[in-house]
A = this chain, B = another copy of it.
Amino acid sequence: MEQVIYYEDYEVGAVRETTGRTITETDIVLHAGQTGDFFPHHMDAEWCRTTEFGQRIAHGTLTFSVAVGLTANVINPVAFSYGYDHLRFIAPVFIGDTIHTKVIIKEKKDHKRKKDMGIVTEAVEVYNQRDELVLVAEHLLLCEKKNADRKDKGKADD
């Protein structure tokens, strides 16, 4: 679904939560297959029994990718993701854990050079089924302003 959300429409403090997703053994096997990371922490159940966690854990990039994917249900044609800050793997995600993502609008500021753009920072928090925080990040969103002088548009590289 497409929904136009301008810089002015984002409200600091607004919160949205996604549906949940159970991280399965399949997800871990597929993520190893996609990334080439077959470290025993993810792929060797026997060896994992000897570690502090006692079992296989999800790749950090798997939890991150799924958590971000869960938020991808509204296409905003006037906003562009350009990165993340402070991505932290807080707690391990195990096979069978169900995660969901909470997105909080944390900060808004004008773009330094582009008058018709602003930067929205979203706090991304990922929780498991026991409401334990397992991952955090700050998502940076470059958004068009509603009332900006359209002459500036398209000069993304200046």
Count of identical protomers in the assembly: 6
Q: CA A149 – CA B68 in complex, angstroms?
A: 40
Per-position binary interface string of chain A over residues 28-49, scored 1 when its CB falls under 8 Å from any chain B CB and 0 otherwise: 0111111111111001111100
A81 nearest CB neighbor, chain B only:
B60
Contact of A20 among B46, B59, B69 (CB under 8 A): B46
A89 at the interface (CB under 8 A from B): yes
Partner of A43, one of B21, B25, B46, B89: B21
- How big is the A interface, by class? 35 or more
16 residue pairs bridging A and B, Cβ less than 8 Å apart? A20-B44, A21-B44, A22-B44, A22-B46, A26-B26, A27-B34, A29-B30, A31-B34, A34-B65, A34-B66, A35-B68, A39-B75, A47-B98, A61-B68, A62-B65, A85-B87
- Not counting A19-B43, A83-B87, A85-B85, a sample of 8 additional A-B residue pairs whose C-beta atoms are within 8 angstroms of each other reads A2-B19, A24-B25, A30-B33, A33-B34, A37-B69, A38-B72, A61-B69, A85-B87
